[in-house]
Amino acid sequence: MNQTVMKQTVTQSNPLSGATPNQTADSHTHHQSVALNVHNLSAGYPGDRQAISNIQFAIKRGERVAIIGPNGAGKSTLFKAIAGLIPFTTGEISVQGEDCRSSHAYVGYVPQQQDIDWTFPVSVYDVIMMGRARHSKWFPWWQQSDHERTKQLLAQLSLTSIANRQIGELSGGQKRRVFIARALAQEASVLLMDEPFTGVDTTAEQEIMETLDVLRNQGITILLATHNLEKAASAFDKILLLKQQQLAYGPPSEIMQPDVLRLAFGGGLSVFQQGNETIFIADEHGANS
């Protein structure tokens, strides 16, 4: 049984304040540049039902937003639509103010570990170089600037010592950092990360969070799917609650409330009180009301 646990100090905020699908950002959004804007988005797969609908939110430059919801909620589908990997049936997506169809180079995608063929014979260095393809005039013949950027990212993400190793030989945390580096190699300003904490130990998880802190300081916007409710509440500016549709969007103090979380997890959410803390246990497979 896959469960996520979260502790939070009780607050008095309205659980639905700022969390309706029509609210795309807070009142200060116009003072800062919007890095990613998703408007009335619906998307799915050929021959299949619509996987997500009525998705609408905005993320400011440098913000970190967590996506939470039960298994099958559509988190990966949303990422693939933003990254241009699947078509969307309705709605609009803009990145840095440009239609996403012409601005995919701004979006870096770090897929789930299970979606990558780790037996493919390729080195860490070569994976990161792949991110340079959109910038190389002579691809697949690399320029010196491509090699220099790759070496910079190897150093930045503490990967230089394993640059020549095959990706299948890496630890879980190293694998995540390699694909973060590949996304950054394409000069992405928006980074989509699909469950990067799954299957890694606490040390690797901390390394990933330290990397995200560095990226925040560089103005890179993060949209990250996770089953870790505690991490979503403590380390992110906003949370998007998803279950095929957008159910809530806002700061953690508003989203991490029992009535709001039950919109997605239903009877799969257990709530316990421990002093001034509320403990949430969400069963990802038992989300029906």
Q: Where are the domains of the chain?
A: 3-120+187-283
The predicted pLDDT at position 26 comes to 43
Per the structure block, which two tokens stand in for 212? 């995200």
The strand ranges marked E within the chain are: 3-9, 34-44, 50-60, 64-68, 88-95, 98-99, 107-110, 190-194, 221-225, 238-243, 245-250, 269-274, 277-283
Question: Using CA atoms, how far apart are residues 162 and 230, in angstroms rounded to an integer?
Answer: 32
Pairing of strands 34-44, 50-60: antiparallel
The predicted pLDDT at position 285 comes to 66
Model-level pTM?
0.84
Pick the CATH number of 3-120+187-283 from 3.40.50.300, 3.90.1150.10, 2.30.30.90, 3.30.70.260: 3.40.50.300
The predicted pLDDT at position 136 comes to 63
The predicted pLDDT at position 100 comes to 76
The Cα angle at residue 150 between residues 148 and 151, in degrees rounded to 5: 65
The predicted pLDDT at position 19 comes to 39
pLDDT per residue rounded down to tens, the chain (289 residues): 455 555 554 333 443 433 344 444 444 444 458 999 999 999 988 877 789 999 999 999 999 999 999 999 999 999 999 998 888 899 999 998 888 776 677 899 999 888 898 889 999 999 999 998 876 665 567 888 899 999 999 999 999 999 999 999 999 889 999 999 999 999 999 999 999 998 888 998 999 999 999 999 999 999 999 998 989 999 999 999 999 999 999 999 999 999 999 999 998 888 888 888 888 888 876 554 4
The predicted pLDDT at position 28 comes to 42
The predicted pLDDT at position 137 comes to 61
The predicted pLDDT at position 17 comes to 36
Pairing of strands 269-274, 277-283: antiparallel
The predicted pLDDT at position 265 comes to 93
Nearest of 206, 199, 261 to residue 229 by alpha carbon? 261
**What's the half-sphere exposure (Cβ side, CA atoms, 13 Å) at 204?**
15
Question: Using CA atoms, how far apart are residues 235 and 224, in angstroms rounded to an integer?
Answer: 11
